[in-house]
Amino acid sequence: MKQLLAMISVSTLVVFTSAHATSWQALPDKAPAPANNPTTAAKVELGKTLYFDPRISSTGTVSCNSCHNVMEGGDDSRPNSMGVNGQTGGRGAPTVWNAAFYSTQFWDGRANTLEDQAKGPMTNPIEMGMKNHDLVMQRVRSMDGYKTMFKTAFGDSKMTIDQAAMAIAAYERTLITPDSAYDRYVKGDKKALTSQQVKGMNLFAELGCTSCHSGPAFNGQAGVKLGTPVLMKFPTFTDNSYVKKYDLASDKGRENVTGKADDNNLFRTPTLRNIAVTAPYFHNGKVVTLDEAVKVMAKTQLNIDLNASQAKNLVAFLESLTGPFPQQTMPRLPVTSGKSVVVE
């Protein structure tokens, strides 16, 4: 147990007991919303439109959906996501599906809320490349169709970056996938899982995977105060071939945010929901298959060498965490008449 707890940053103020680690929980049917940003249909519609609009990037080519594709697994299937002018960063895009169940956002937990996260990529020079948020909103305000949408969603015509972020966050809180085979099983339908998946589920707990990947979202963040990073040391055990093969230790993780050496290689514990459809794996996207990913995790986090049968059983269980995706339709974006908002 000491080795398992060593994987979790002491800054999280979260302690997992053995009882907690084996408590199987279904995903809620509705994502929580903060008191200052209740979810409304008008906000969701506005947020969805902004989410799909590439014109809020400097080149007019990158939208939120470019890297977090809700028509698929909520990611972009790339090792490193591509932003404006073909630039790529050092990390893969985490899935947006079920992001509402995180206590912090980004791999290093640098954003406290979905609202905070929504603003970040817009002005990142590699991602959406806008010089500042004022220019983002200048473009949005220049498209007449958005004026009515903001007024309907917020009751005024201010059209601020905070309102835009609140709307995007409201849309993202609709992107949840309850009712997976696993959810039905823990709710009482004992036929929902195959015998192999049940074996994998039991093995998942026996090996200690639930020490970090606990709770309904399998991210260890259930009941954690919003804004509290739940971080995992990755890799924990470095004396193995996987660390060098997949370059797992070169990214300093949380240390890049805080500058503290103690935060080296600390990353937010990712959800395992829909993990079977969000390859490639880990922060740098170096591992291509789920079978390999579970072997890497077992060795680097638990110092356990899985045999082929164990890996297959774990993969089978993880596949049961894929839920039905809510139907998504592409929004009609506000048009600009006789002018371009991208080319000046």
> Which residue in the list 127, 172, 292, 319 is annotated as catalytic?
127
pLDDT tens track for 252-300: 999 999 999 999 999 999 999 999 999 999 999 999 999 999 999 999 9
What is the CB neighbour count within 10 angstroms for residue 148?
A: 12
CA 255/CA 266 separation, integer angstroms: 7
Q: Is residue 5's pLDDT more than 90?
A: no
Q: What pLDDT was estimated at residue 22?
A: 60
Q: Is the pTM of this model over 0.85?
A: yes
All domains in the chain, ordered by first residue: 2-27+177-319 (1.10.760.10), 41-172 (1.10.760.10)
Nearest to 300 by CA among 318, 316, 287: 287
pLDDT tens track for 304-314: 999 999 999 99
Q: Is residue 20's pLDDT more than 70?
A: no
Residue range 79-100: mean pLDDT, rounded: 96
Nearest to 167 by CA among 337, 53, 27: 53
Rounded to a whole number of angstroms, the CA Rg of the chain reads 21
Q: How confident is the model at residue 21 (pLDDT cuts 50, 70, 90)?
A: very low
CA 43/CA 162 separation, integer angstroms: 12
Q: Is residue 81's pLDDT more than 60?
A: yes
Q: What pLDDT was estimated at residue 4?
A: 43
Q: What pLDDT was estimated at residue 337?
A: 84
Residue range 176-196: mean pLDDT, rounded: 98
SS3 3: helix
CA 290 from centre of chain? 17
CA 270, 215, 7, 257 dihedral sign is positive
206 is catalytic: no
Q: How confident is the model at residue 343 (pLDDT cuts 50, 70, 90)?
A: confident
